[in-house]
């Protein structure tokens, strides 16, 4: 709605809207977002409730502006909009009309209070935000052929807005993981970084850098010409291991892409058999460094069959469902199975009459994990794409994702999703510009 005032009639206000540089900038930015999803969401809400004063679209535009402008607080967002009343009109807030005001409405009465803006951020529908992010991926696919053939996974740490994260504040039980913090009852204590420090006696001691907060997991893809794209994101409290992000991220990425990626890459924290399984099922590989997690290493043949301590290829007997959820294969001593050869062995287990026994994870992913050639050109080419997540994390940090000024999990998660929407919209704008330039060269 375009109001009318004692200074400007509607045609003048419409002209001001069309020529204001700030309005023009945000119109161009928002034109790359699929707002029909918001309209569908609004129609799906219960008709028995009183309709909201302002549309969901107006709130989402305001929160995207908050992140894009680098504002930490709702107060800053509100003050900015008060200084740019044309944005209030263009964002489609429900105006409190007042012809005596310069722009025909009372901006103070129109805008929600700081308290309500903070509350609304918390109660945004996370499902709707995920749909908006998925829509940016679809739009990017239309511009970038082959997007998502290789997907990288990583986690970015986020500091909760609590005094326990302030090293200058005296906290008696700063790192008591069982306490519930007053500043943010949803955040958890986790390890940001772990290093080994050499002691005077030559030994090493593990040093852990702890923080209270959240982890923002991302699935990303990159192309040489178009740069980096966020395919999916997922937020959890920081006490969860990195590998727990994989399944929700891979599901969301496949939903956004409408296909499964061929190859997967991540750091050593993702060295789990089901990561490789996800790639093996679709004819690809998982370029992940091997991490034994402190377990003993035993030798394998090139096809994954274990070798006994005497370097003999062990004999497969039967398969069974392991309690850890995978299909396992039992291997026995080759000197005793399938029948005794008459040869002897000095191993203790052989003396007991049963020989060595190994129960091996025999899923395709588990076999890929131990047999993958990590020096091959294919592995190295895919693994280098892992840096796309690092660049996405760098962009997100620059926008302000690392230290949000909110006090709960829902608000952090909503800010994170909106941050990645902004990153993808920027990527989409860049891709459209590149493709337009290529067409002009033809």
- How high is the pLDDT of residue 195? 66
What is the pLDDT of the chain when averaged over all its residues?
Answer: 92
Q: Are residues 139 and 237 in the same domain?
A: yes
Same domain membership, residue 156 and residue 235? yes
**Is 90 domain-assigned?**
yes
Confidence of residue 53 (pLDDT cuts 50, 70, 90): confident
> Does residue 253 sit in the same domain as residue 351?
no
Is residue 206 situated within a structural domain? Answer: no
246 and 393 co-located in one domain: yes
Domain assignment present for 199: no
Whether 155 is covered by a domain: the verdict is yes
What is the count of structural domains for the chain? Answer: 3
Average pLDDT, stretch 327-335? 95
Residue 199 predicted with pLDDT over 70:
no
Task: Give which of 205, 202, 230, 227 is closest to 216, Cα–Cα.
Answer: 230
In a domain, 202, yes or no: no
pLDDT at 8: 87
Residues 15 and 147 in one domain: no
pLDDT in tens, 113-163: 999 999 999 999 999 999 999 999 999 999 999 999 999 999 999 999 999
**Residue range 166-195, pLDDT digits in tens:** 989 998 889 999 999 999 999 999 998 776
Q: Are residues 29 and 115 in the same domain?
A: yes
The domain boundary residue, chosen from 90, 123, 156: 123
**99 domain-assigned:** yes
DSSP code per residue over 316-364: EEEEEE-TTSSEEEEEE-TTTSSS--S----SHHHHTTS--EEEEE-SH
Q: Do 90 and 159 belong to one domain?
A: no
For residues 399 and 276, membership in a common domain is answered with yes
Q: Kindly report, residue by residue over 56-88, the tens digit of the pLDDT.
A: 999 999 999 999 999 999 999 999 999 999 999
Q: What is the mean pLDDT of residues 309-318?
A: 93
The pLDDT confidence band at residue 197, using thresholds 50, 70 and 90, is: low
Question: How far, in Å, CA of 83 to CA of 215, rounded?
Answer: 35
Confidence label for 352 from pLDDT (cuts 50, 70 and 90): confident
Q: Which structural domain range is residue 347 located in?
A: 293-363
Residues 76 and 62 in one domain: yes
The percentage of the chain sitting over the pLDDT mark of 90, rounded to a whole number, equals: 79
- Could you tell me the pLDDT band of residue 3, with boundaries at 50, 70 and 90? confident
Regarding whether 152 and 278 lie in a shared domain, the answer is yes
Sheet holding 327-332, edge to edge: 315-321, 327-332, 357-361
Q: Identify the helix (H) or strand (E) that includes residue 208.
A: strand 204-223
**Between residues 291 and 273, the one the model is more confident about:** 273
Mean pLDDT of 296-317: 88
Q: Global pTM?
A: 0.91
Q: Are 299 and 352 in a shared domain?
A: yes
Give me the mean pLDDT over the 234-250 stretch: 96
Read off the pLDDT band of 294 (50, 70, 90).
Answer: low
From 92, 123, 154, the end of a domain falls on 123
Predicted pLDDT at 303? 85
Residue 183 lies in a domain: no
* pLDDT of 33 over the 90 cut: yes
pLDDT bucket at 205, cuts 50 / 70 / 90? low
CA distance 223 to 176: 44
Confidence band, pLDDT 50/70/90 cuts, at residue 421: very high
Instruction: pLDDT band for 247, please (50, 70, 90 cuts).
Output: very high
The answer to whether residues 3 and 95 touch, using CB atoms and an 8 Å cutoff, is yes
Considering only residues 7 and 284, tell me which one the structure prediction assigns the higher pLDDT. 284
Pair (43, 69) in one structural domain? yes
Question: Does the pLDDT at position 6 exceed 70?
Answer: yes
- Any domain includes 356: yes
**CATH code of the domain in which 268 resides:** 3.30.420.10
Question: What distance in Å separates the CA atoms of residue 138 and residue 426, rounded to the nearest whole number?
Answer: 14
Q: If you average pLDDT over residues 312-316, what whole number do you get?
A: 94
Across 212-238, b (16+ Cβ under 10 Å) vs e yields: bbbbbbbbbbbbeebbbbbbbbbbbbb
Q: Are 265 and 285 in contact (CB under 8 A)?
A: no
């Amino acid at each position: 709605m375009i109001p009318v005032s004692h200074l400007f009639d509607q045609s003048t206000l419409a002209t001001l809207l069309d020529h204001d540089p700030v309005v023009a900038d945000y119109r161009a930015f928002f034109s790359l977002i699929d707002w029909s999803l918001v309209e569908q969401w609004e129609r799906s809400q219960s008709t028995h409730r009183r309709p909201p004063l302002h549309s969901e679209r107006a709130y989402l535009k305001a929160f995207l502006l908050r992140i894009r402008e680098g504002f930490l607080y709702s107060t800053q967002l509100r003050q900015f909009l008060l200084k740019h009343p044309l944005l209030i009109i263009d964002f489609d807030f429900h105006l409190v009309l007042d012809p005596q005001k310069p722009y025909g409405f009372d901006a103070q009465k129109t805008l929600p209070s700081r308290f309500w803006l903070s509350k609304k951020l918390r109660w945004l529908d996370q499902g709707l935000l995920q749909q908006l992010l998925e829509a940016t991926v679809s739009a990017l696919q239309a511009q970038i052929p082959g997007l998502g053939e290789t997907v990288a996974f990583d986690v970015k740490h986020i500091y909760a807005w609590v005094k326990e994260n302030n090293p200058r504040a005296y906290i008696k039980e700063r790192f008591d993981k069982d306490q519930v913090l007053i500043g943010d009852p949803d955040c958890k204590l986790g390890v940001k970084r772990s290093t080994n420090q050499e002691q005077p006696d030559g030994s090493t001691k593990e040093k852990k850098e702890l923080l209270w907060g959240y982890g923002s997991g991302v699935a990303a893809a990159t192309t040489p010409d178009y740069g980096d794209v966020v395919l999916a994101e997922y937020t959890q409290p920081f006490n969860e291991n990195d590998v727990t992000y994989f399944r929700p991220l891979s599901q969301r990425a496949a939903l956004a892409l409408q296909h499964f990626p061929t190859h997967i890459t991540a750091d050593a924290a993702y060295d789990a058999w089901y990561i490789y399984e996800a790639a093996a099922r679709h004819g690809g590989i998982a370029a992940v460094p091997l991490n034994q997690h402190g377990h003993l290493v035993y030798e394998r043949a090139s096809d994954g069959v274990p070798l006994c301590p005497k370097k003999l290829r062990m004999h497969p007997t039967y398969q069974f469902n392991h309690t850890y959820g995978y299909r396992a294969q039992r291997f026995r001593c080759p000197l005793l199975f399938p029948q005794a050869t008459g040869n002897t062995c000095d191993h203790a287990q052989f003396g007991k009459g049963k020989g060595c026994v190994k129960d091996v994870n025999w899923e395709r992913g588990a076999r890929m994990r131990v047999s993958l050639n990590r020096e091959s050109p294919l592995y190295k080419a895919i693994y280098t794409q892992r840096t796309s997540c690092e660049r996405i994390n760098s962009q997100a940090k620059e926008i302000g994702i690392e230290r949000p000024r909110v006090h709960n999990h829902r608000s952090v998660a909503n800010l994170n999703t909106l941050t990645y929407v902004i990153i993808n919209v920027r990527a989409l704008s860049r891709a459209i510009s590149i493709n337009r330039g290529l067409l002009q060269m033809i």
